[in-house]
Structure 1
Amino acid sequence: MSRLVEDAMPSRRRFLGSLLASAATPWVSGCDLGRESYPELVWGVHGTKPGWLQKPRVAAFDADDHLYIADLTDRIQVFDRDGTFLRHWRTPDLNIDGPSGLTVDRLGRVLVADTHFYRVLVYDRYGTLLFQIGDGVQGSTPGRFDYPTDVVIDRDGCFYVSEYGENDRIQVFSPEGEWLRQWGGHGHRPGQFVRPAALDIDEDDRLYVADACNHRIQIFDTRGELIDLWGSRGSEPGQINYAYDVAIGPDGHLCVCEYANSRVQKFTKDGRSLGTWGRPGRGPGELNNPWALAVDSLGAVSVIDSNNHRVQRFRF
């Protein structure tokens, strides 16, 4: 970690530690989790210097449990799982909203949905740009994007890109970036989307789509055939209020980041709720419109507490 960031962290961590020690009421619902209702780690310094966070919005772990985070400064910053700053790089162009999607694929590449420049950027883990998908021109024709939100790859190396705006669809590209097919469209019926915000894909190549403004998760095969969907708008366990991110943990369960409920909810793959974590606020264990989450190899969830400019780690 840079000396400046290191100097800024101890007092903040001591302050948060005292708050955690004095906390008295757990707020996980749906599971008997006891002390696990409190975050095991809270970190982050608000700002634009290396290692600091300015409204972080997307995150992903690599195979070494290094956490990659993109924020509104158009930086990709890399931390160890405990928040120690390792390195960073910037995307080629600056926009005040930054990227909306980030994945580290099984090949170790960093896939960035560069939303407001209408493209997907493919980097190595040290920030060398390998290639891009899309010509950077906004559009609805096959191969162009309106606002790409996330990207994942399947076992064959094909890219799946979600996008919102006029298109609200999933596009599929070959490992070389050539357009193959698409599905979706704007709407509320099964197979349609209203702002598909995030993707994940499991070992059987089932694609999970966080259909944000339909408050649900939709599951597809690689040809775009709908397998299942579940979720409805609300704040009760099992309901969802703006699903902004979805991640599959090592136990095979799904964690969903709910922007409007300011919480994380854990589900089985068929949509049964296993519990919720978090509530609105600014204290430890409280979230302020979180945008994203990432699950490490140990099963711990690092939630990107966007409007609190920090990361909180907990376990269900």
Structure 2
Amino acid sequence: MRITGLAALAPLLLASASPAPNYRVVHGWPVLPDNRVLGPCSGVAVNGKGEVLVLHRGNRGTDAKALTPVNEPVVEVFDAVSGKLKREWGAGLFVIPHGISIGPDDHVWITDTGANQVFEFAPDGRLLRTLGERGVAGADATHFDRPTDVAPLADGSFYVADGYGNSRIAKFAADGRLLFQWGTRGTGPGQFNIPHALAVDARGRVYVADRVNDRVQVFEGDGRYLTEWKSAAIGRPFGLALLPGSRIAILDGGSNPDKVPDHDGVTIAALDGREVGHFGRMGNQDGQFWIAHDIAADREGNLYVVDIAGQRVQKFARN
């Protein structure tokens, strides 16, 4: 794996000395009601109560040409232990729901690549505010172009990965004001080709899954470039999840013709980029992935992965 700018991350080396975790798929998780199936699953997150929120596209499929909302609930809330469905919401709100994130206050953030909008919800699903103009693409303080993910922070500010159209990362104040942004389309340091997922560690460093460039880029909180991680195991990163023990899970979603048929998997890395574990491959059996799209971790370090083509969520317990 190529690692650049490693000196900037040297203080993290001592923090990443814990043993590498191993994972096993939890068979029979989740438990859906009779005659229920999920649509293409695009996002997953875990709230402070240990509930797992799965975002899917219902009957919409993977794309849409009109601003017609999905007419069924697209947010499914599961009990992390039993896998039972506790509640669902989100009908009639989204065109192409894409990413879901949970803030420190348990507010739920969802991006909509069809509507070019970002939404903030209360924990019970009440809409609190909407950013972006519905159906209008742009690259300014009040517009997005198919935004992919949100990383909320403890002070109320938040980063938005924007996304399929703009190839930028934008930081907003708690009141929604644009503070700054960085990134253009390209392959150089600080450039992106579909910044698809975000993670922010305890030190404020920002990790970006730079999907089509087949790498993870790491930045200071103000957007200053630190390093990139790129390897065959990381592949084409779709999702990121921070783990206990100063580690990060990197989800390879495939869609890379150079890796067919054995793509889709999870790489566990230290926060200096050193790979310490890997599991999963392409397939539709338990523990395999079929266009894996997002990943989340709970406080115990268990992982949850959603598939677009597989139309499911799987739990991987940390041994």
- TM-score bucket of the superposed structures, by smaller chain: 0.7 to 0.9
Structure 2: which 5+ residue stretches go unaligned? 1-18, 59-69, 255-262
Match of 1:247 among 221, 241, 247: 241
User: Paired residue for 1:8?
Assistant: none
- Say if 2:16 is the partner of 1:60: no
- Say if 2:88 is the partner of 1:88: yes
Match of 1:39 among 18, 25, 38: 25
Could you tell me how far apart the structure 2 residues matched to 1:134 and 1:48 are? 38
Taking structure 1 as reference, are residues 107 and 156 closer, same or farther at Cα in structure 2, changes over 3 Å only?
same
- Secondary structure of 1:307's counterpart equals coil
- Secondary structure of 2:313's counterpart equals strand
Measured after TM superposition, the shift of residue 46 of structure 1 is 8.7
Could you tell me how far apart the structure 1 residues matched to 2:219 and 2:274 are? 18
User: Paired residue for 1:197?
Assistant: 196
Contact 1:120 1:134 in 2 (8 A): yes
Flag the structure with more relative contact order, 1 or 2, with Cα contacts below 8 A and sequence separation at least 6. Answer: 2
User: Paired residue for 1:221?
Assistant: 220
Match of 1:72 among 54, 57, 70: 57
Contact 1:216 1:240 in 2 (8 A): yes
Q: How does 1:1-316 map to 2 (within 5 A)?
A: 38-43=24-29, 52-73=37-58, 74=70, 75-81=74-80, 82-90=82-90, 92-95=92-95, 98-136=96-134, 137-232=136-231, 234=232, 239-260=233-254, 261-314=263-316, 315=318
Contact 2:101 2:152 in 1 (8 A): no
Taking structure 1 as reference, are residues 76 and 48 closer, same or farther at Cα in structure 2, changes over 3 Å only?
farther
Could you tell me how far apart the structure 1 residues matched to 2:208 and 2:110 are? 17
Measured after TM superposition, the shift of residue 116 of structure 1 is 1.4
Taking structure 1 as reference, are residues 160 and 307 closer, same or farther at Cα in structure 2, changes over 3 Å only?
same
Taking structure 1 as reference, are residues 165 and 241 closer, same or farther at Cα in structure 2, changes over 3 Å only?
same
Number of matched pairs: 276
Could you tell me how far apart the structure 2 residues matched to 1:196 and 1:308 are? 23
Displaced runs of 4+ in structure 1, greater than 6 A? 45-49
User: Paired residue for 1:22?
Assistant: none
Could you tell me how far apart the structure 2 residues matched to 1:151 and 1:42 are? 30
Contact 2:103 2:154 in 1 (8 A): no
Taking structure 1 as reference, are residues 91 and 226 closer, same or farther at Cα in structure 2, changes over 3 Å only?
farther
Measured after TM superposition, the shift of residue 166 of structure 1 is 3.5
User: Paired residue for 2:10?
Assistant: none
Q: Which of the pair is proportionally richer in helix?
A: 1
Counterpart amino acid of residue 306 in structure 1: I
Measured after TM superposition, the shift of residue 155 of structure 1 is 3.5
Measured after TM superposition, the shift of residue 164 of structure 1 is 2.2
Q: Can you list the C-alpha shifts for 1:169-202, whole angstroms capped at 9, x where unaligned?
A: 0111110111121100100001000000000111
Could you tell me how far apart the structure 1 residues matched to 2:102 and 2:141 are? 25
Taking structure 1 as reference, are residues 131 and 48 closer, same or farther at Cα in structure 2, changes over 3 Å only?
farther
